[in-house]
A and B are shown apart, each in its own frame.
Chain A
Amino acid sequence: MSLERPRPDQSYVTDDGVDYDAIEELLGEHVLGRETHINAEGFVIRPDEVQEVLFALRDQAGFDHLSVVTAQEYGDRYESIYHLKKYDDPTQELSVVVPTSKDNPVSQTAEPVYRTADWHEREAYDLVGIEYEGHPDPRRILLPETWQGHPLSLDYDQDRPQIVTLTEHANPIADDHYESESDTMFLNIGPHHPATHGVLHLKAVLDGEQVVDVDPDIGYLHRCEEQMAQQGTYRHQIMPYPDRWDYAPGGLMNEWGYARAAEDLADIEVPEYAQVIRTLGAELCRICSHMLALGTFCLDIYGDFTAIFMYAMRDREKVQSLLEDLTGSRMMFNYLRLGGVAWDLPEPREEFFEKTRDFLDDLPEATQEYHDLITSNEIFQIRTIDTGVLEPEVAKQYGATGPVARASGIDYDLRRDDPYGYYPELDWDVATDDGCDNYARLLVRMQEVEQSAKIIEQCIDVLESWPEEDREIQSNVPRTLRPEADTEIYRAVEAAKGELGIYIRADGTDKPARFKIRSPCFSNLHTLPEMSEGEYIADLIASLGSLDIILGEVDR
């Protein structure tokens, strides 16, 4: 079965995962101390030795995936946490904890080791206020350049007026960052532009029709999701927000991301029956989300508003109506609860099963239709094959996950590699492709739709034969959750766009002290310059479409 894979043999690994003692030996005197997070061990190191440590971990211990950088402020210090994983086996995790002092919050940048740290550290600077020495581009990333203060730091005063000008979000006293005397043209794409899938701003420098430089400017939808989560109580108040990160709708998958982290943090069991329902719902969301990707991608590439876009919308409507039957809402489900789901399948159950089966029965025909219209279309092929090439090594450097990584031949899917829910019991395959180009990314999504359909079908069968007296939808969860102080966890699920991770630090109250979201779109979007520099501007648009970003998740 595809779900099993021989583990590559490496040193620093024992039978039950990473051999932390050997790693401590490897790092030698760099290690100042060890912390135990629920998901992995954390090694505390000095702020000026970050690169040395990370190079050792990457090159010798094989940690080639920097999931996310979490920055936070404590009463007496700042802290950046580098959450490391392996693409080959994401259950092997490790955290590198870098404390810095209050009066001089400067830490060495990790950008030379992992390219993806570039944006993550900019975000850490923007929201928390840690500075990274040697960072190639130390600007704000989400908030306007003129913003005063760092909103997630402890002493931030939210009532302080802020000024935002229209002319430039750039800092007006900083130097212009493009040369003025050259033949290139500077082109703004967005933030209001049909091809940017929302409010993304691309600062592109063109030489003729070729892209010399492109700098995604994000933050036009920065809705303070992390602040919102930090203000909410674990049990009920946080759950509505994940729906709004990836609203494609990836709702249930995102909710699962939060649920998984919080359940592991507070040690809550989820009944198996609820896991099946979750799996079913999440896969429906995945289909819905990939349909959107498909429809808008074709809209971008050859302006096909009439056929493919409408067909994709038609299929989305079907899924949304199924999801509405299940959860009560078309998009913003708020259906998962810590320890289970909100309610059982809709009555009469047979009707729901039948409706779902009808949809699945129609799906192969619909997929065939898409293949006829899209993948075998010559114009489409010319536009997408060999454009926007993303080599696997580059993709890993940027922390790309999800269909973007899988289309570059990286066999990485958390549903299989870091199993959760009911996935391990089911029979399905991980779709990958070696094409590395825009075409491959579309193909992978279309295959994933088929695989999701397969999963849903099996879930329906399981649910149908589930004994009636055993339908437990929620386990017993205390009314107020107060996870122990100073427990920390990072947990991820495979959302439609890739690895969606949540870091939570509890402080003994009923609200998280730090809630950090690892958004797959954020890292995926970071690969855009790599894919499009030197290519034609039209291919830039195609590449952007093939990344399938949702700005709500990029900006959070």
Chain B
Amino acid sequence: MSDTPPETITGSTDPMTETREARMGGVDNRFNSRLREAFGSSPFILTKFDQFMNWCRGSSMFMLQFGIACCSLEMMHTYAVKHDLDRFGSGVPRASPRQADTIIIPGTIVSKFAPRMKRVYDQMAEPKFVVNMGSCAISGGPFQEGYNVIKGAEEVIPVDIHVPGCPPRPEALVYGVVKLQERIAEGESSPVTVKPYELEQFNDLEQDELVNKLASQINEDDLVMRYNWADSP
């Protein structure tokens, strides 16, 4: 055997041609995105900047690595092999809320955790989006009647998409996330202002030392939540 590679390899221009052809269209049009179609014959595209930004946003989303309860296991499976959310451009979970723009709420929210979840949400940079995963995050789910359970994430933060299920299958979550991306890309889901909280309605509480102390500490930046099972939707 000689050391020189056979002529068929060195002399061939096939691979290059194929790649070029694939890029220019022709046989393989895998790479023909909308953008490329628009570029097609002329080097200019005309679009509204907003539209362009929305398209960018929807095409690359960073999820917050945020696990609460059972649903987070299915969320992990959605990120991992087999379901691989990354195929849709939104599969890189970020550990810090500062780097994330979508938060999936995968689980039951209880009184002690709700304020913390709100804080995490507040720490995310605008624009931010919320996917509710599972019945717990939607309404409290199987635990709705619990003394300690918040009846859905919407009591605390605004939500863009609900994915029902207990837990939703990974396929369902993928569908939900892709739907969200679609909505964002089409400008249908936009940053929402956080709904104001029921603030210090302390009247019906016994005015003991603790309540007075808490009432005196309230200011606008500080979250005080009031859970009232009877009045909740």
Contact = CB atoms under 8 A, between A and B. Distances in A.
Interface of A: 142-144, 146-147, 151, 156, 158-159, 161-167, 169, 171-173, 191-194, 197-199, 219-224, 227-228, 231, 240-241, 243-244, 247-249, 292, 309-310, 313-314, 316-317, 320, 330-332, 551-552
Nearest to A312: B80
22 contacts: A144-B112, A159-B228, A159-B229, A163-B226, A164-B227, A166-B118, A172-B214, A173-B209, A173-B210, A197-B67, A220-B112, A221-B107, A222-B110, A223-B108, A227-B147, A240-B142, A241-B142, A292-B73, A314-B81, A316-B77, A317-B77, A331-B70
Nearest to B223: A166
A221 B109 CA distance: 7
A313 B80 contact: yes
A220 B113 CA distance: 5
Nearest to B95: A194
Contact of B116 (A162, A197, A220): A220
Contacts of A249: 70, 73
Given A159-B228, A249-B70, A316-B77, 19 more contacts: A142-B148, A151-B147, A159-B230, A165-B115, A166-B119, A166-B224, A173-B209, A191-B113, A198-B67, A198-B68, A220-B113, A223-B69, A223-B149, A224-B147, A228-B146, A244-B69, A313-B80, A314-B82, A330-B169
B50 interface: no
A162 B210 CA distance: 12
Contacts of A552: 69-70
B111 A144 contact: yes
Interface string B94-120: 010100000000011011111111111
Interface of B: 65-70, 72-74, 76-77, 80-82, 95, 97, 107-108, 110-120, 142-143, 145-149, 166-167, 169, 201-202, 204-205, 209-211, 213-214, 217, 222-230
Given A163-B224, A221-B107, A223-B108, A247 B148 contact: no
A228 B142 contact: yes
Q: Which 7 A-B pairs have the closest CB atoms?
A: A224-B146, A247-B70, A313-B80, A166-B115, A159-B230, A220-B113, A166-B223
Contacts of B107: 221
A201 to B, nearest CB: 8
B38 to A, nearest CB: 35
Contact of A317 (B82, B167, B226): B82
Contacts, number: 161
Contacts of B229: 158-159
Contacts of A221: 68-69, 107-108, 110, 113
Contacts of B169: 330
Contacts of B225: 163-164
Contact of B145 (A192, A194, A228, A330): A228
Nearest to B201: A161
B143 A165 contact: no
Contacts of B66: 192
A391 B81 CA distance: 38
B222 A166 contact: yes
A165 B227 CA distance: 11
Which residue, of B80, B118, B147, has the highest number of chain A Cβ atoms within 10 A? B147
Given A172-B214, A223-B108, A224-B147, A332 B82 contact: no
Contacts of B82: 313-314, 317
A231 B145 contact: yes
B228 A161 contact: yes
Contacts of B119: 166
Given A244-B70, A247-B70, A199 B146 contact: no
A161 B226 contact: yes
Nearest to A249: B73
Given A171-B210, A316-B77, A331-B70, A223 B205 contact: no
A318 to B, nearest CB: 10
A306 to B, nearest CB: 10
Contacts of B210: 146, 171-173
Nearest to A330: B169
B224 A191 contact: no
Nearest to B97: A192
A222 B222 contact: no
B93 to A, nearest CB: 9
Contact of B112 (A169, A292, A310): A169
Given A158-B229, A166-B223, A317-B77, A332 B166 contact: yes
Given A158-B229, A164-B115, A551 B69 contact: yes
A331 to B, nearest CB: 6
A240 B81 CA distance: 28
B70 A156 contact: no
A192 B105 CA distance: 12
Contact of B143 (A220, A224, A310): A224
A146 B148 CA distance: 13
A195 to B, nearest CB: 9
B65 to A, nearest CB: 5
Contacts of A171: 210
B214 A317 contact: no
Nearest to B74: A331
Which residue, of B72, B73, B77, has the highest number of chain A Cβ atoms within 10 A? B73
A278 B95 CA distance: 38
Contacts of A191: 113, 116
Contacts of B113: 191, 199, 220-221
